[in-house]
Structure 1
Amino acid sequence: MANLSKTIQQQIQGIPEDTSFGYGELTIPAQQYPSAAKVLERLQQKGLIRKLSKGIFYKPKTTVFGEKRPGEEQVLKPYLYREGQRIAYITGTYLYNQMGLTTQVPAVIQIASRERRIFVNRGTVHATAVKSYVDVTEDNYQLLGLLDALKDLKDIPDVYMQAAIGIIIDQIQQLTESKLKEIVGYALKYPPRVRALLGAVLSSIGKGAIAKALKESLNPLTVFKLGINDKLLPSAAEWNIQ
């Protein structure tokens, strides 16, 4: 028990304040969870950690206004992983707010996952499930978030289209060549309007060659009425976007 207690305390020391963690982050064998629970209970009694929900804890952060509880993303973090592997990500209006696409903050957060439906009701934090188009990993969830933004672009609350397109173009321009090819591969699993928008963005930044597979996947007679013209997005007409 003494060795386990020391191991857990050393690992917790490396976790930033205001960051949630569960048994999975402590990298201890499952058979030691009952003993670990007693160690964590003692650490709570000492005020070194706080319990956020069943099996989820955090290191308290004290500010001039008192002790601060973790924000929504930290509360939801444990639901995004299974056995240390990411299986889900936050999407929808909450994500688009973080991206700067809208000032709206949703009352209910959307969590996308391909392998499970995730619902959360923890105090003031509420989340509902949406289906991811592909399997979610630590390496691809940000790309999937970008594709979600393209999918929902027309329907994002209070979106200012010119600014939103500029933000998305800027983020895509920052991707490496391999990541651009990767996002194209994922886009092929998304609805046609997403493929067209991504293709137009890639063409507009001089990456039209990478977008070839997107063009080939689209019906040349389909017109996408999204309220976007060549002034807002160069190459829009080339991709039948209006």
Structure 2
Amino acid sequence: MTSEKRESALGALQSNLKKGHVYRREDLLISSNAVDRHLKQLLKSGVLEKLSQGLYYAPKTSIFGRLPPKEDDLVRAFLKDEEFLILSPNTYNSLGLGTTQLHNKTSVYNHKRHGVFKMGNRSFEFRIKPRFPKKLDKEFLLVDLLNNLNSLPENKDVILANIKKMLTNFDLIKLEKYVLLYGVVRTKKTVLSLLHDLR
């Protein structure tokens, strides 16, 4: 192949890349007949960034510099799946139940992968769960907080007392449904007992 053809093949691949998108190596095979050589060239020129083995990002820039990939896009490309839920223990703080710690941790509930994986500058703790909702809401967060209560540094008695006081701030029908679907045994006992006391 002549150098002109090699350059036009690389140009064709580059023109198909969308800024801000995360790609797997296999995604690029459609547009390239020499994907590993092209990847090396695109990484060298800064058109792509390597996030982890087989995972690449076409950086988007703003007035502040290069933007990181969106978490959802990153996890979707890594898992090759739409079925996942991203959450951080920091989100528990939004419930106003006495959790105030900031955690440098992002969990991904999913059906495929388990373990801590580093992608770019971020680490994700992938946890296989049989069931989880499609999106976060405060009722699921409460169930998840109780599921993970023993791993939190805050005073557990204070949190439980605050839950008892503030239980009516939640959708109780949804909470009962969620605790039966997603709660561990201890969480089910706690929440169902509190709901029983309200009736």
Q: What is the TM-score when the length of structure 2 is the normalising length?
A: 0.55
Q: Structure 1: which 5+ runs fail to align? A: 200-222, 225-234
Counterpart-to-counterpart distance in 1, 2:52 and 2:113: 20
Counterpart-to-counterpart distance in 2, 1:42 and 1:168: 59
CA contact (8 A) 1:94 1:106 kept: yes
1:1-242 residue pairs with structure 2 within 5 A? 6=12, 9-13=15-19, 15=20, 21-23=22-24, 28=27, 35-54=34-53, 55-64=55-64, 67-68=65-66, 70=68, 74=71, 77-78=74-75, 81-83=78-80, 85-91=81-87, 93-96=89-92, 102-121=99-118, 125-134=122-131, 140-142=134-136, 146=141, 147-152=143-148, 156-158=152-154, 161=159, 162=162, 169=169, 180=174, 184=177, 187-195=180-188, 223=193, 235=195, 237-238=197-198
Counterpart-to-counterpart distance in 2, 1:156 and 1:99: 15
| Map of 1:205 onto structure 2 | none
Query: What is the RMSD computed on CA atoms of the aligned residues?
Result: 5.0
Q: Which structure has more RCO (C-alpha within 8 Å, separation ≥ 6)?
A: 2
* Matched residue type, 2:115: I
* Matched residue type, 1:190: G
Q: Residue 194 of structure 1: CA displacement?
A: 3.8
CA contact (8 A) 1:52 1:58 kept: no
| 1:112–1:184 CA distance, 2 compared to 1 (3 A) | same
Q: Residue 57 of structure 1: CA displacement?
A: 1.4
Counterpart-to-counterpart distance in 2, 1:79 and 1:99: 27
Counterpart-to-counterpart distance in 2, 1:166 and 1:131: 30
Q: What is the TM-score when the length of structure 1 is the normalising length?
A: 0.48
Q: Residue 31 of structure 1: CA displacement?
A: 5.9
Aligned residues: 185
Q: Residue 21 of structure 1: CA displacement?
A: 0.8
* Matched residue type, 1:59: P
Deviation by residue 1:55-106 (Cα, 9 ceiling, x = unmatched): 2214143445xx34628x73993377532x2344334524435777744232
Tell me the percent identity. Answer: 14
Q: Structure 2: which 5+ runs fail to align? A: 1-5
Counterpart-to-counterpart distance in 1, 2:144 and 2:198: 22
CA contact (8 A) 1:187 1:194 kept: no
| Map of 2:3 onto structure 1 | none
Q: Residue 47 of structure 1: CA displacement?
A: 3.6
